[in-house]
Structure 1
């Protein structure tokens, strides 16, 4: 045990001994001075704390100091009534206050007791009670606020833990202060009782045991009682004041002295108003010279503070500019921030600023909000915020889309034109700038508003520039959705699902599948435009098959099969018929025979010539069968679907590959051709 721990323990033991054993006058004087010193230290510390929790030991310290002071009261009372003396300190205080009149000193002492008991002690007790009540009532709201910030990603888990601990400590502190304030009140009452005991029994003992006259009794015992009361009440007053300061303090930038001066004199011009009011008082019978001096001091002080405030503002502005420039040039934090990349960026040339500027009638921001809502419903994931900015390095009418810092699409817009699209009509009478529709690559023309009606009558689909770029953004995000779904985003989806299906989530993650495994499975579904909104069904499948295999490719296939209703509906045409191209039995057998199984997964091990032949055969058959269809679909057995898609994904990304197990039994399927290779 350290010397510091022993000192506190020994101090508490000595306090108990002091209540029982009489102490000599010299030791009492020493302990009284120690009591006053400790009270001064406590109030100074209370004034210099920025937050109440900086002095969290105060409630316990208050109890120990109150016990120490009561022990001194018992010892001094014993000494006064037994020996008619209590040391030099009490005698000096009594003589100084009473002066020539014992009763005047006693009245001053009573006033001091009333101030402490009624004003400071009662006020501190009430503030402690209210602070404790409001702190406890506010705890649930503060906890919810921390949870909301944590879920929104504004704070880390460690920061949330620290904030929760601070809230709990504040509740404990104010609850303890509510109880400790009762000690202050009890101490004040005990002081009054002890004074009455000293006076009443002092008169009795002085006139009976010591044989003093009435005048001598009043002089000796009243003087000692006043001195004892003062040396006791002064530290008690300081402690009570410190209690009031602690419980009324709120988090601030500095200590009490700094806050008082900074906030009281925050508006120097108001000192001019005060100076004028004091000067006007001098026009009354009040001393003109005195009021004029005070008014002049207030005016000079206001001028000095106003000038100092203006200089400080200039210095702060200069320092802020310098710091901002310095941080941009050399701050390590700023350099690190430069490494961050936005998930989605939309950059455009200066001629396209009107589509994003709301003051010029641009509604691109509103359209992007709607795009994010639409894709959340279609894909089942939260699309990150799209960063929109102009880029002078682009051509005036050019725009580009970036996913995680990499350009994935670009296009060109003409704001005073319309995009006219018609893949089947060749009408040379419609003048315009030949181009390709950026989202789907269809042939199109940029036409003037003068020929808009004529183009619509000719069968063209006419679209305004904001709609063109909105469609392009939507399709690009759909295409790259899997890149936007990282582990953090997957964790958010899992947490959201856990609110309604906690048992299901616990059965899937963290065992047998990690968040990374789930992210890969969901990413494979998004890669083939399969929405993951029906997350409970996907997790049911992962719960069933995750214990049998950890192959994410295979688990993604099982998940697709569990979403058969969704997939069937997705690829049905307007006539409720699904036109497909199938693989010949010979081709499917060829694929099955060449599936290579390894410890790292399975893959299709065909020689390059066979692969090229298969890709060309699928391309020719789908082009022949799906000239008028929006999507080319290849239908095959579940055993080969994954490998067929992997084979053609780089060369024929627009071709959809489905398995028989991914279609509903009652789906109306129409074969439009058979893929075969020799």
Structure 2
């Protein structure tokens, strides 16, 4: 029973809240058509002023415009309330105005006598000044800002939506966060569009105030002289003061709402309210020191009010002295971390001081901080986001966030790239210069700081921006410092993909696959393969440059391979033999033949014997033999490397893994494949044979992979 009663109360309360707005709208219409006594009119005027003050306070305390998203509707109803009160007060003034100054209520009487001293000429001038301030200055400016904001917001809406989709695809946002962001973008567009129209309410209300004043004055004079037999001076003294009091009562809340509208549309999103934002931005000694100096000079000029000016000088000087140690807002650039809410005691040591959970890190010397400064566009941060998005698509899993921070222990222009805490790359860049890369076909040399490109080892020169055109004409490839750092980071991430993939990433990929192939996932894990085995197999594939884009096919290969062996090395080899087409398509297009370097039959036999003699050894080959293999393969592949031709080294399945481990330090971009990994029907061109005589010809195509072993 108690629960039922509570539920009924909630239903009644909800229904009551839902009925408030319709009832209030009907009351506004009633004020316009039904005569009301002066006592209710006084209550309405006070309520109007109270509501206007409340709207102004909410506007000033909002951290961003969308925090008061109902403002256009509130402005509409506040304007209707004021106009309804104007209509009701006009009726009372014209009907009962001849009875005296209190005929329209005490509020109008107070505004007509106390505020303007009972002199209607003064009242007309005061009302005119308020109208100019409201209509010409505040309302016109707020309307223009609303119009421009609405236009820019609508123009930027597609770009914002695309940015949200890109962040969602890159793993920066969860689906719920992306949905909320899209809703915020749509709400922002609706808000500024509504404010563009709502600003016309304020302007129309100001114009209506002037017309109502004129109607009250003319109507009062006519009725006072014709109907109530007053002299023209008596009618003017009575009705004009009442009309001006009525106009001022309406104009004060109208001015408050105009200020609220202007404050809302000119707001910039900030964690602080308007007062806090303005205060924080003026809290700098660099602001008040020049003010104190200029006022001090002005106070010494003969004829000036020295006491007042020098007092203001003292106040400004005191503020400058008090704020001399304060930092201006926005001087600290920290693109990764925020200050902790609770600062630990000086003697305490936290876990965050001895460990860093970020898988990817980019440390910058203080001279490179401008590359991530949001006030300067943060060019490096935009490129890092693009790199993560592109590599995530290429590798098949979401590349983790890059933690960017400054490091005062580095040289000013140095940067350092870390992967899982290990330094994988470091170099220097000059933020105010450009890097000119030697393309190998230069017509002239450009003077500058000679270096090596950190990504590809090319000869390069750091030049000033003025020499950009000269360098391009000379045949250099010119890039900005943000691109230099980002390209180096891209290379490091691509080479370290296996170090970035762990059990969590494997679980995410299994969860995503489960939505489209639930039976495949259930047949893969936890039996016959555990999550750790799946992650290890994926890391092995990534270490040899095999992407995980088609994870469904890789998972099917894992199921088939696990049926033969659960040994980690054998498992990976079996998986590779089943996804050979995926490996080959990363090297050459479908219609192009694959360039390969093969081994002589005698050398193949020698390698196979070495592996069988030491089956578990990481390097089963004798050092002398290994050196000869590296030298011969490097010599045979030199023409292909110089011509930037993608190729593979093909060997027997038993020797593939140790040979790949042997050649990786010398040819990191060249895959080592077994005969079984090349799909049937794939055209293959033998570029060279290592360990024997020259091949029968560069155009000798093999119809089937196994023919290369004969």
TM over 0.5: yes
- From 579, 582, 587, give the equivalent of 1:559: 579
Alignment of 1:248-287 (within 5 A): 248-252=266-270, 254-264=272-282, 266=284, 267-281=287-301, 283-284=302-303
Q: Which residue of the partner structure matches residue 200 of structure 1? A: 218
Q: Does 1:34 align with 2:59?
A: no
CA-CA distance at 1:556 after TM superposition: 3.3
Q: Which residue of the partner structure matches residue 247 of structure 1? A: 265
CA-CA distance at 1:107 after TM superposition: 2.7
Q: What is the CA deviation profile of residues 330-355 of structure 1, one whole-angstrom value per residue up to 9, with x for unaligned ones?
A: 556x269535556999xxxxxxxxxx
Alignment of 1:136-151 (within 5 A): 136-146=154-164
Q: Does 1:106 align with 2:124?
A: yes
Note if contact 1:98-1:223 (Cα within 8 Å) is conserved in structure 2.
no
Closer, same or farther: CA 322–198 of 1 in aligned 2, 3 Å: closer
Closer, same or farther: CA 163–298 of 1 in aligned 2, 3 Å: farther
CA-CA distance at 1:294 after TM superposition: 1.7
CA-CA distance at 1:272 after TM superposition: 1.9
Note if contact 1:381-1:493 (Cα within 8 Å) is conserved in structure 2.
no
CA-CA distance at 1:312 after TM superposition: 5.0
- From 652, 673, 678, give the equivalent of 1:662: 678
CA distance in 1, matches of 2:494, 2:227: 104
Alignment of 1:463-474 (within 5 A): none
Note if contact 2:558-2:575 (Cα within 8 Å) is conserved in structure 1.
no
Note if contact 2:520-2:555 (Cα within 8 Å) is conserved in structure 1.
no
What's the secondary structure of 1:310's corresponding residue? coil
Alignment of 1:277-426 (within 5 A): 277-281=297-301, 283-284=302-303, 288=304, 291-310=305-324, 312=326, 326=345, 329-331=348-350, 334=352, 338-340=356-358, 404=420
CA distance in 1, matches of 2:660, 2:142: 79
Q: Does 1:64 align with 2:77?
A: yes
Closer, same or farther: CA 522–90 of 1 in aligned 2, 3 Å: same
CA distance in 2, matches of 1:4, 1:278: 60
- From 37, 50, 53, give the equivalent of 2:66: 53
What's the secondary structure of 1:268's corresponding residue? helix
Question: Mean Cα displacement is larger for which, 619-628 or 224-233?
Answer: 619-628
Q: Which residue of the partner structure matches residue 348 of structure 1? A: none
Note if contact 1:579-1:671 (Cα within 8 Å) is conserved in structure 2.
no
Q: Which residue of the partner structure matches residue 361 of structure 1? A: none
CA distance in 1, matches of 2:242, 2:674: 103
Question: Mean Cα displacement is larger for which, 625-634 or 271-280?
Answer: 625-634
CA-CA distance at 1:154 after TM superposition: 5.8
Closer, same or farther: CA 187–635 of 1 in aligned 2, 3 Å: closer
CA distance in 2, matches of 1:130, 1:543: 53
CA distance in 1, matches of 2:43, 2:494: 83
CA distance in 1, matches of 2:534, 2:279: 59
CA distance in 2, matches of 1:214, 1:139: 61
Closer, same or farther: CA 335–161 of 1 in aligned 2, 3 Å: farther
Q: Does 1:542 align with 2:553?
A: yes
RMSD, aligned α-carbons = 5.7
CA-CA distance at 1:12 after TM superposition: 2.3
CA-CA distance at 1:238 after TM superposition: 1.0
CA-CA distance at 1:541 after TM superposition: 10
CA-CA distance at 1:170 after TM superposition: 2.1
Alignment of 1:112-191 (within 5 A): 112-146=130-164, 159-191=177-209
- From 5, 16, 36, give the equivalent of 2:29: 16
Q: Which residue of the partner structure matches residue 629 of structure 2? A: 629
CA-CA distance at 1:90 after TM superposition: 0.9
CA distance in 1, matches of 2:418, 2:111: 82
CA distance in 2, matches of 1:492, 1:570: 36
CA-CA distance at 1:189 after TM superposition: 1.3
Note if contact 1:35-1:69 (Cα within 8 Å) is conserved in structure 2.
yes
Closer, same or farther: CA 133–300 of 1 in aligned 2, 3 Å: same
CA-CA distance at 1:386 after TM superposition: 13
Closer, same or farther: CA 237–546 of 1 in aligned 2, 3 Å: same
Q: What is the CA deviation profile of residues 439-460 of structure 1, one whole-angstrom value per residue up to 9, with x for unaligned ones?
A: xxxxxxxxxxxxxxxxxxxxxx
What's the secondary structure of 2:104's corresponding residue? coil
Note if contact 2:546-2:583 (Cα within 8 Å) is conserved in structure 1.
no
Note if contact 1:580-1:634 (Cα within 8 Å) is conserved in structure 2.
no
Q: What is the CA deviation profile of residues 618-669 of structure 1, one whole-angstrom value per residue up to 9, with x for unaligned ones?
A: x999999989434999976xxxx5xx57xx9699965988345638677779
Closer, same or farther: CA 77–532 of 1 in aligned 2, 3 Å: same
CA distance in 1, matches of 2:347, 2:162: 36
CA distance in 2, matches of 1:261, 1:236: 27
Q: Which residue of the partner structure matches residue 423 of structure 1? A: none
Closer, same or farther: CA 342–105 of 1 in aligned 2, 3 Å: closer
Closer, same or farther: CA 311–548 of 1 in aligned 2, 3 Å: closer
Q: Which residue of the partner structure matches residue 240 of structure 2? A: 222
Closer, same or farther: CA 168–490 of 1 in aligned 2, 3 Å: farther
CA distance in 2, matches of 1:75, 1:581: 105
In the superposition, the TM-score normalised over structure 1's length comes to: 0.59
CA-CA distance at 1:69 after TM superposition: 0.7
What's the secondary structure of 1:572's corresponding residue? strand
Alignment of 1:549-588 (within 5 A): 556-560=576-580, 563=583, 572-573=597-598, 581=604
The count of residues paired between Structure 1 and Structure 2 equals: 508
Closer, same or farther: CA 613–343 of 1 in aligned 2, 3 Å: farther
Q: What is the CA deviation profile of residues 594-638 of structure 1, one whole-angstrom value per residue up to 9, with x for unaligned ones?
A: xxxxxxxxxxxxxxxxx9879499x999999989434999976xx
Closer, same or farther: CA 550–190 of 1 in aligned 2, 3 Å: farther
CA distance in 2, matches of 1:665, 1:335: 56
Q: Which residue of the partner structure matches residue 449 of structure 1? A: none
What's the secondary structure of 2:114's corresponding residue? helix
In the superposition, the TM-score normalised over structure 2's length comes to: 0.57
CA-CA distance at 1:305 after TM superposition: 0.8
What's the secondary structure of 1:50's corresponding residue? coil
